[in-house]
Amino acid sequence: MHILDYIVLFGYFILITVYGLWVARKLSGTEGYFRGDRKFKWWIMMGQAFGTGTHAEMPVAQTGASYHLGFATIWYQWKNMLITPFYWLLGPIYRRTNRTTIGEILEDRYGKNIGLVYSVFAIFFFVFNMGAMLQGAAKVISVASNYQISPNAIVIIMTAAFMLYSFFGGLIAAVKTEFIQSFLIIVLSFLLIPLGLKEVDGIAGMKAALPAEFFELYNKTSGLTVFTIAMLALNGIVGITAQPHMVSMYATGNSERAGRVGQTFGSLVKRLCTVGWAFTGLIVAALWVTKGDTLADPELAFGYACKTLLTPGLFGLMIAAIVAANMSTCSNFMVNTGALFTKNLYLKVSKDADDKKLLLIGRLSGLGLAILGVVFALTIKNVLHAFLFTETIAAFMGIIFLGGVLWKGANRYGAIAAILSSFFVYYLLNYMAQGELMLVYKWTPEVFGWAILAGSLFFIIVSLVTKPEDPEKLVVFFGQLEKSSDTKDIEEGNILAKNVGKDLLMVDLPGWFRKERWHNFFQRYKEDLSGFLWSWVMVAILILIAWFIIN
């Protein structure tokens, strides 16, 4: 570490903290703290989605995989590429409920007990993820700096910075700092490529040094079969619906479209950055082949590239970018954790608390639970398995969220049956395969497939044979989803979404076999259809870009 690297790194910590506190100066009340007053523009929402969805371990894992097995391993990160257009269809569901947390949405749909179960899961999800992300970034930085900076020191410094501005500024500070930090993440993704190409005599030199299959967009050598990709995609689309921060991702924009654009196209920016991570792995592979040697651990490839290719100052910038990738997510998680605790737990025992008291509880609970994340970070050993585990359990919870939106016949008994059966099958099959009981198992497509199937079947069967939900509550819940939440539509008297082309395909999906659903189809679903189509166009363009680069 050169003195320039320390200046850049600590300069970043100071500047982002000062900016976060400056943004927070006008905040007042829980509406601003938890939901940012629902005033974020579409480009701010893109920065939020991109920053929250990108973590430091992702470029490390992808660079290591492509170093080891070639570019086709990009599908480990692109597992959600083929479901990204569906993000466009999901967005307004969260905003139209006019809730702050998914726990509240599930309480409206199934009752307070299901909301409570989900809230406990969500807090566990946030703490577990914050700890894994903090330790993941710390390990990367420690290795890249030749252990001149200890992992635990990095965890503490990162935490102090994002805790400070998130505590005072809430979601407003978290989202606006994420927008700034998203540019650093893009730097992280592509900074090493021009420097590396110079060392290996360009793409021609890489192709001369590496096997031809390293430059294929898809092959079985990567270890990713079509079935595996399909299960990863299923995990992604079901799981993301129940990830606790989705309300802030979708419902805090100044319009439904802002939320749709933010989550969908912010995620596509991440898919583009993945191309940079995979290509960096090929560069490192070519560098080592020309030296006649190999790395002991493929996941050291990213750190090796940083140490070998970056000059003083640029190395510090890379470290700052790695920090940014995790601080942006953790700050968002801290605010959302506070919202969950306040809205779904504290309000149940203190129903008369005023807004000032709720704001204080939100700040303190978010702070306390973030500290638990730090404690967990200081003890965690396997970062990758921790992330895959949280994504998997989110998919089991996603059965009841997505199922409850798609099917009016779903009830609380089916929801409980889905949760219990999916977890039971998941742990039973893993125990039978591994021979030991563990909290976190390595993700396998077969086990996940059987668990999600069991949960879905029990969800349907138990809902069919037990007492249905109160019809009046269902009318209220689904009635909200049929109304536009955009201020302009409400002011002009166009509250019904179908009157302004904003009916939702996902909500209306079960009724497609009825004749009336096809009446004036393209006009009623204009917003859904146009955005969904453009999203697929962008997916095709990204795949073509990747194919063009490696060819």
Q: Is the pLDDT of residue 156 over 90?
A: no
Confidence of residue 183 (pLDDT cuts 50, 70, 90): confident
The tens digit of pLDDT for each residue in 334-375 reads 898 899 899 888 988 887 888 889 999 999 998 888 888 777
- Looking at residue 159, what is its pLDDT? 78
Domain extents for the chain? Answer: 3-23+55-470+531-550
Confidence of residue 1 (pLDDT cuts 50, 70, 90): confident
Give the position of tokens 């909500």.
Answer: 507
CA separation for the pair 506, 545 (Å, rounded):
30
210 φ/ψ angles, rounded to the nearest 5 degrees: -115, 155
Class of residue 291 by CB neighbours under 10 A (exposed 0-12, middle 13-18, buried 19+): exposed
When comparing pLDDT for 146 and 66, which is higher?
66
Taking residue 263's Cβ as centre, other Cβ atoms within 10 Å add up to 28
50-64, 108-122, 135-149: which is most confident: 108-122
Confidence of residue 381 (pLDDT cuts 50, 70, 90): low
The DSSP annotation for 327-352 comes to HHHHHHHHHHHHHHIIIIIIHHH-TT
Structure tokens that stand for 506 in this block:
């996902």
Residues 6+ away with beta carbon under 8 Å from 212: none
The DSSP annotation for 153-166 comes to HHHHHHHHHHHHHH
Least confident of 53-67, 128-142, 233-247: 128-142
- For residues 425 and 450, the answer to whether their CB atoms sit within 8 Å is yes
Taking residue 477's Cβ as centre, other Cβ atoms within 10 Å add up to 19
27-36, 186-195, 233-242, 461-470: which is most confident: 461-470
The stretch 64-75 carries a mean pLDDT of 90
CA separation for the pair 188, 62 (Å, rounded):
13
CA 468 to chain centre: 33
Residues 6+ away with beta carbon under 8 Å from 169: 20, 21, 23, 24, 27
- Looking at residue 385, what is its pLDDT? 59
- Looking at residue 530, what is its pLDDT? 96
Per cent of the chain over pLDDT 90 is 44
Q: Is the pLDDT of residue 153 over 80?
A: no
Q: Is the pLDDT of residue 147 over 80?
A: no
The stretch 31-55 carries a mean pLDDT of 89
What letter does residue 441 receive in the DSSP assignment?
A: P
- For residues 225 and 17, the answer to whether their CB atoms sit within 8 Å is no
The stretch 190-197 carries a mean pLDDT of 91
Confidence of residue 435 (pLDDT cuts 50, 70, 90): confident
CA separation for the pair 526, 88 (Å, rounded):
12
Task: Give a three-class secondary structure readout of 466-526.
Answer: CCCCCHHHHHHHHHHHCECCCHHHHHCCCCEHHHHCCCCHHHHHHHHHCHHHHCCHHHHCH
SS3 148: coil
Q: What is the pTM of this model?
A: 0.89
Q: Is the pLDDT of residue 154 over 80?
A: no
- Looking at residue 88, what is its pLDDT? 97
Confidence of residue 377 (pLDDT cuts 50, 70, 90): low
Confidence of residue 384 (pLDDT cuts 50, 70, 90): low
Average pLDDT, the chain: 87
Least confident of 140-144, 294-298, 491-495, 529-533: 140-144
Least confident of 144-148, 364-368, 414-418, 532-536: 144-148
296 φ/ψ angles, rounded to the nearest 5 degrees: -65, -35
Confidence of residue 515 (pLDDT cuts 50, 70, 90): confident
CATH architecture, range 3-23+55-470+531-550:
Up-down Bundle (1.20)
Task: Give a three-class secondary structure readout of 290-303.
Answer: HHCCCCCCHHHHHH
Confidence of residue 380 (pLDDT cuts 50, 70, 90): low
Which residue type does 325 have? A
Structure tokens that stand for 300 in this block:
């050291």
- For residues 259 and 94, the answer to whether their CB atoms sit within 8 Å is yes
CA separation for the pair 508, 518 (Å, rounded):
11
The stretch 10-39 carries a mean pLDDT of 86
Please give the angle made by the CA atoms of 97, 357 and 348, to the nearest 5 degrees: 55
Helix (H) and strand (E) counts for the chain?
A: 25, 0
Taking residue 156's Cβ as centre, other Cβ atoms within 10 Å add up to 16
The tens digit of pLDDT for each residue in 447-458 reads 999 999 999 999
- Looking at residue 265, what is its pLDDT? 96
- Looking at residue 27, what is its pLDDT? 79
Stated as kind and residue range, the H or E segment containing 126 is helix 112-144
The tens digit of pLDDT for each residue in 89-117 reads 999 999 999 999 999 999 999 999 999 99
Confidence of residue 386 (pLDDT cuts 50, 70, 90): low
How many CA atoms are closer than 13 Å to the CA of 418, on its beta-carbon side?
30
Q: Is the pLDDT of residue 74 over 70?
A: yes
